[in-house]
Amino acid sequence: MSRFTILILLVCLCSCSGRRTDEERSLGILPGIEAPGWPAHDSRLDVLPGFRNPPPGYGEVPFWWWSGDTLNAERLTEQLRQLHNKGISGVQVNYSHLDTPGWMTDQDEPGIFSDEWWKIWSRVAKESARLKMGIGMSTYTIDWQRGAPNLFHKLFYSKAHLNAFEIEPGEKFMLRTGEIAEIAISGDTFSARAYRSEEGLPLKGGIDLTALIRNGRLRWEAPEGTWEIWTYRTIRKEGSLNPLMPGAGDTVLNGFFRPFEKMSSGRASKGLNYFFNDELQLAVGKYAWNPDFPEEFRKRKGYDLFEVLPAMWVDIGNISPKVKMDYADVRMSLIEERYFRPIYLWHAERGMIFGCDSWGRGLDPSEFGDYFRATRWYTAPGHDTPGGKADLIKGRISSSIANLYRRPRVWLEGYHSLGWGASPEQLMYATRETFLYGCTLLNLHGLYYSTYGSFWEWAPPCYHFRMPYWDHMDSFLSYFDRLSWLMSQGHTVCDVAIVYPVAPWEAEMDGETAKNTSFELGEKLMAAGISFEFIDNESLARAVVENECLNVRNAGASYKALVFADMDAVRWQSIEKAAAFARGGGNVLSVGVLPSVSDRAGRNDGELIRINDLTFKDNCRFGIVDEAVEAIRNSFTQDVTGIGQTVRYLHRKAGFRDVYMVMDAKPGATVEFRCKGRAELWDPWTGETRTLKVRGETAEGTLVELPLEEYEAQIVVFTPGKKHVNPAETSDPPAPAELFFPLEWNVSFIPTMDNKWGDFRLPATGRRMIGPEARRFRWAPETKDTAETAMLPETDDSTWEEKLHGFGSQLYVLGPVSKNLGIYYFERRLAEMKHLDPSVPEYVYGRKFEWEAYDFSWRQGKEGDPGHQGYHGLKRTVSNDFLCMGKPEQALNEIRYVDEIPEGRYYIWTTVTVDNDLTADILFSDQPPRDKSHTSPVLTPSVIYINGMPVSFPNNGIKLNAGVNTILARYDHAGRGHFVLRMHGAPEATASRPLSMKWADDDAVIPFDIYAGKSGAEWFRFLSAPGTSAISFETPGEAEAWIDGVPMKKQAEGSFVAEKVPEKAAVVAIRIIPPRPGISGGALIPEPVEIETDGSGMMRTGDWSECGILKNYSGGIRYRNKISITSAQAKSGIIADLGKVAGTAAVYVNGKKAGVRVAPPWKTDITSYMKKGENTVEILVYNTLANHYQTIPSLYRGDPVSGLLGPVRLLVEERKK
């Protein structure tokens, strides 16, 4: 054959491969697209090279939240490079929302689509393209039709001609023979019709009266019989977009999507990818309307809609459910053709991944009218799975759509709201399961542009570069790169199809029951080890029956069983194809009711009864799901069967190979696969493959021994036509010898919290990397005894109070005291107290009441309660109302304080100490805060006493005497507020630091002093990190420090160095003399104590959050130890078994990195790194941000358990290197 002939053939092949059939065109299938993340459907494809080294586009794609701070292009591009270094495929920009009415988009400067915003976008997109990453945008919050002036409101919803319509009937009129109707017609009425009526219901047909409407009136004389006059009008839905109007999709493309191409010119446009609809809202209710709807209905259904339109509201006979189904079908067809499909094609033709997560996530089949039909118009149908859990039904719905319509990917929006303690171990199991359920694109929900001093979050955590374990995250990410590549190629293979229950919703025939039964069936099939998919009416209609299977063209799907679950209504195409399948030897089953309604003729249709009899054999009709599952199990040889146990699986035909993902198989379990050929285990951790042990063949399949742990995903790959050769037989080796390390490990600390941009603490001053530090202290005022013993490590401080830095006791609170107790004399006595001993209770008519110290910080208010925040976490605010009394209860995005007893009264007592006589203002809350920083009842004092005397309101110009002044205030109900004394006439304070009450940096505020002028030294103690060599901290007082009982050398103000560095965790004691009354407790140490270590520390394995200050340490610890092995052992296989790790771990042997583990099993083969004699083994463990967030008032703090939990050992196996 000549080279010219070969060239012509290649050209022809290329042309054919890119040519679409009419069916492919109608389904939106675009063959031959070569773009990042687009898989192949070529049966000749060898998937092994791509598995070993995945091509671009199969990495993780996070949501990049551009809320929380002013956008900075340098910061954004810096973050992009950090992501690129870990193999992230692309990013998707998101904006959060406020919790104000309408849920307005929460955006900082610059505003979305402003000129400055486009400049930043263009620069970031250009950098993304340079890095060969994709960048797209989500419509989350910006396209919501909730009334807020979001971006889409500005672009579309505010324009009346783009608004959606609904049809509704006007007032109805009954007439009999010869009666004349004189009816006033409203201006929005567009049609009137008279229907003959029987038994109070209109009948099909009628007379069109629209032409008789003149000057807003209709006059008509009824012919013989009883008649109903119906008028129809349209209601415009303000603040919406009409998806039924011609050009709806193009309108959105022109206003929103196409500007990204225009404003990302040149190289930047090449980076566009990963656009997303999140919780999309469309005006597509049951009665959605467009002016051309009647015409389209007639063309598609062959009859006049107005003849039967009353059926949408009342029963007009057997045809009623048909009308509803036909109306729903036309409505959905117009939405698809005019809205969804054009937007889909714009993305697909450019090779873009376009994903979604709708409100119903497929669990509401009626969403958009038909969830399946709407969601097929995404290149990556998808859903979310909150809280670290996989969702079988969501996964199978999304993956079924992708498989039946050959969409390239299945989008998994993963694990929002799991909390700051989310670890890769948790993510690993959940993500394996979601991939087992059919997902192929991993999107970790949290990637924040800013965490704003730890006070901005959106359904945390942020899984990316802020997490201590980020350094090890490439191991996790590369695992799913490989799995994403492999499980995206080709198509799914499964035996069972469940009809997705849309028709019962359309016909209003108990769709809820159909949904519940269908989903229960899916769950029980999977629990029984039987894979399944959901199938829609259109896929079922285009399927063909071949060899007792139901094969869906252009999908590769082939089913042996089809199930209708409580489908009281059904599309005629579906039941016709089901009947053909049954006649062709297929298994067609029903669970619950049989179809009684269809879109052929409605109800009471003899033809439907006949076809039901043909379709559902007596032995295929079941009353409960369990019976159907058992029947399916026994109807044919299952694709995968665990011998002696149940396993779950997913089967893909990828190129010329069969790929099985299997979970739940115990080590050494035998599993039968309905497949033959060479059987291998493919390892997503490394990309390596190894031959599996085949125990035998059956008539249809192969018995394979699986080696991995039950919780792991085992990727079993068959190469048909290749002869299988078992690995060399070996006798069962003896149990490995165990070598244990010394109990104590040398530890050094590896800080990871980079505060360059103020992500963890504001203002971003001081050291950039936040390492070990003391935040909570044991605290006590100095006494004669503590002056001698407080610095000694053996001193028992368990009865001392605990203080958080910055927070100190400033008030005493008593109550609630019932109003009915008659408290006048009691109150006067309290007001006259010169000092208060909290250990002495108060009595009112024999009732005992005790004073409690009330701590707060002049910067951050009440500990653990910064006031109202927003949805899904902290929102950069600290309420000025630090005084909280009553019973706390969780309210909308805040803690609300309510009465503990009816008419309960509360008292606060304190003093202020001033050097000279002065005049002060009393500032207290008397109305709800303007910033809506809380919704508790407002705490306004009913009476205030200064130096025993009540003061009048307003409280301006209060005289304070030099020295101590006592204060008593009474509150007559629970709630929240503030109470502040400030020097009269002092100028307003300048802006305070971020995340502060307005009183924080106000020098005119007079601090409270619960000690009534008495001031003395105070002691602070904490268990420091092993190897502590120095400490430094801010204090307004005079400080001394000890470590392990030994005085530390003062280097500078607040900086102390250990004369001798203790190896183990040692007690640090700090003595501070306050500069003046009113500064006490944690207020004497306003910021954490910074700890320096020299790497000489020693620590045992275990949970480091139980080790003093390390409870609040988020970062890394390098554990180092030495172990010696013999020459014989050096020739054996050696496994480092870490026992258990809370976090992630990298193992180094003799200075070389031997492996990284981010999830169980916590074992690494270190054979090639060990040598005869002494070996140095290092284990670098990173934890999560849960430890840091223990002192942040987040609702998502998480579990702080951290570290190398152990036991750590070496397993020495008898094998050669």
Residue 1107 maps to a domain: no
What's the CATH code of the domain at 1207? 2.60.120.260
Say if residue 604's pLDDT is above 60.
yes
Condensed to tens digits (0 to 9), the pLDDT of residues 766-812 reads 789 999 999 999 999 999 999 999 999 999 999 999 999 999 999 99
DSSP-based three-state secondary structure for 314: coil
Q: What is the mean pLDDT of residues 944-949?
A: 96
Q: Are residues 419 and 532 in the same domain?
A: no
What is the mean predicted confidence (pLDDT) over 1076-1091? 97
In a domain, 689, yes or no: yes
Residue 517 placed within a domain: yes
Please report the pLDDT score of residue 366 as a whole number.
Answer: 97
Q: Any idea what the CATH number is for the domain that residue 266 is in?
A: 3.20.20
Average pLDDT over residues 850-873: 97
Q: Do 1135 and 1162 meet the contact criterion of CB atoms below 8 Å apart?
A: no
| CATH code of residue 527 | 3.40.50
Q: Considering only CA atoms, which of 207, 232, 710, 279 is closest in space to residue 459?
A: 279
Q: How many DSSP H helices and E strands does the chain contain?
A: 25, 80
Residues 1131, 1148: Cα–Cα separation, whole Å: 19
> What residue type is assigned to position 378 of the chain?
Y
762 found inside a domain? no
Provide the 3-class DSSP secondary structure of residue 1076. coil
The rounded mean pLDDT for the chain is 95
- The answer to whether the CB of 700 falls within 8 A of the CB of 674 is yes
Residues 958 and 1032 reside in one and the same domain: no
Q: What distance in Å separates the CA atoms of residue 200 and residue 172, rounded to the nearest whole number?
A: 12
Whether residue 600 lies inside any domain: the answer is yes
Question: What integer pLDDT is reported at residue 820 of this predicted model?
Answer: 82
Percent of the chain beyond pLDDT 70? Answer: 98
- The distance between the two most distant Cα atoms of the chain, rounded to a whole number of Å, is 115
Tally of CB atoms within 10 A around 894: 21
Together in a domain, 203 and 253 = no
pLDDT of residue 1215: 73
Residue type, 1129: Q
At residue 17, the pLDDT reads 46
- The pLDDT tens digits of the residues spanning 228-237 come to 999 999 999 9
Quick one: pLDDT band at residue 765, thresholds 50, 70, 90? confident
pLDDT in tens, 918-945: 999 999 999 887 777 778 999 999 999 9
Helix (H, G, I), strand (E, B) or coil at 43: coil
pLDDT of residue 31: 83
Which token pair is 1108? 């003093």
Residue 602: left if φ>0, alpha if ψ -120 to 50, beta else—which one? Answer: left
Judge if 319 and 171 occupy the same domain.
Answer: yes
> Comparing 290-294, 844-848, 1001-1005, which segment has the lowest mean pLDDT?
844-848
Q: Judge whether residue 102 has pLDDT over 60.
A: yes
Which tens digit of pLDDT belongs to each residue from 313-344?
999 999 999 999 999 999 999 999 999 999 99
Q: How many CA atoms lie within 13 A of 1199 on its CB side?
A: 10
pLDDT digits (tens, 9 = 90+) for 403-450: 999 999 999 999 999 999 999 999 999 999 999 999 999 999 999 999
Q: Is residue 759 part of a domain?
A: no
The tokens 């915003």 sit on which residue?
117
For the stretch 345-364, what's the b/e string if a residue is b when 16 or more beta carbons lie within 10 angstroms of its beta carbon? ebbbeebbbbbbbbebbbbe
Identify the pLDDT of residue 16.
42
In a domain, 879, yes or no: yes
In terms of domains, do 462 and 498 share one?
no
**Could you say which of 611, 636, 661 is where a domain stops?**
636
Say how far apart CA 80 and CA 119 lie, in whole Å: 16
Helices (H), 1064-1185: 1127-1130
Assign residue 667 the CATH number of its domain: 2.60.40.1180
Instruction: Determine the average pLDDT of the residues in 77-86.
Output: 98
Please indicate, yes or no, whether residues 256 and 108 belong to a single structural domain of this protein. yes
Domain boundary at 1047, 1072, 1099, which?
A: 1099
The alpha-helical segments, DSSP class H, found in 720-782 are none
Specify whether the CB–CB gap between 739 and 1210 falls below 8 A.
Answer: yes
Count how many domains the chain has.
7
Q: What is the mean pLDDT of residues 121-139?
A: 96
pLDDT at 1072 over 80: yes
Quick one: 382 and 454 in the same domain?
A: yes
Mean pLDDT along residues 163-171: 96
CB of 530 closer than 8 Å to CB of 629: yes
Confidence of residue 111 (pLDDT cuts 50, 70, 90): very high
Residue 920 makes CB contacts below 8 A (sequence gap 6+) with 912, 958, 960, 981, 982, 983, 984, 1006
Please give the pLDDT value at position 802: 98
From 1099, 1133, 1159, the end of a domain falls on 1099
45 in any annotated domain = no
CA nearest to 804, candidates 865, 874, 895, 756: 865
pLDDT in tens, 181-224: 999 999 899 999 999 999 989 999 999 999 999 999 999 999 99
Q: How confident is the model at residue 1086 (pLDDT cuts 50, 70, 90)?
A: very high
Indicate the pTM of the whole model: 0.95
Are 381 and 449 found together in one domain? yes
Q: Are residues 607 and 581 in the same domain?
A: yes
What is the pLDDT at residue 1075? 96
Residues 6+ apart with CB under 8 A from 988: none
pLDDT grade for 553, boundaries at 50, 70 and 90: confident
Range of the domain at 690: 641-729
Sheet arrangement for strand 557-559: 543-546, 549-552, 557-559
Q: Please write the tens of the pLDDT for every residue from 562-598.
A: 999 999 999 999 999 999 999 999 999 999 999 999 9
Backbone phi, psi, residue 306, to 5°: -65, -25
Q: What is the mean pLDDT of residues 528-533?
A: 98
CA–CA distance, 388 with 414 (Å, rounded to integer): 7
Q: Which residue has the tokens 């200064």?
A: 946
**pLDDT at residue 1178 is higher than 60:** yes
Please tell me the predicted confidence (pLDDT) of residue 954: 63
pLDDT at 2: 43
How many of the other CB atoms lie within 10 Å of CB of 13? Answer: 10
> Which tens digit of pLDDT belongs to each residue from 247-278?
999 999 999 999 999 988 766 567 899 999 99
Q: Do residues 119 and 166 share a domain?
A: no
Residue 156 to residue 160: CA distance in whole angstroms:
9
1191-1198 average pLDDT score:
98
Give 3-state DSSP helix, strand, coil % of the chain, rounded to 5: 25, 30, 45
Residue 101 in tokens:
């009415």
558/680 same-domain check: no
> What pLDDT is recorded for position 283?
87
Higher pLDDT, 754 or 24: 754
| Domain identity same for 879 and 970 | yes
What are the CB-based long-range contacts (under 8 Å, 24+) for 785-794?
786/1019, 787/1017, 790/1019, 790/1021, 790/1069, 790/1071, 791/1042, 791/1045, 791/1047, 791/1069, 791/1071, 792/1045, 792/1069, 793/1044, 793/1045, 793/1066, 793/1067
User: Across residues 88-115, what is the average pLDDT?
Assistant: 95
Summarised one tens digit per residue, pLDDT across range 641-662 is 999 999 999 999 999 999 999 9
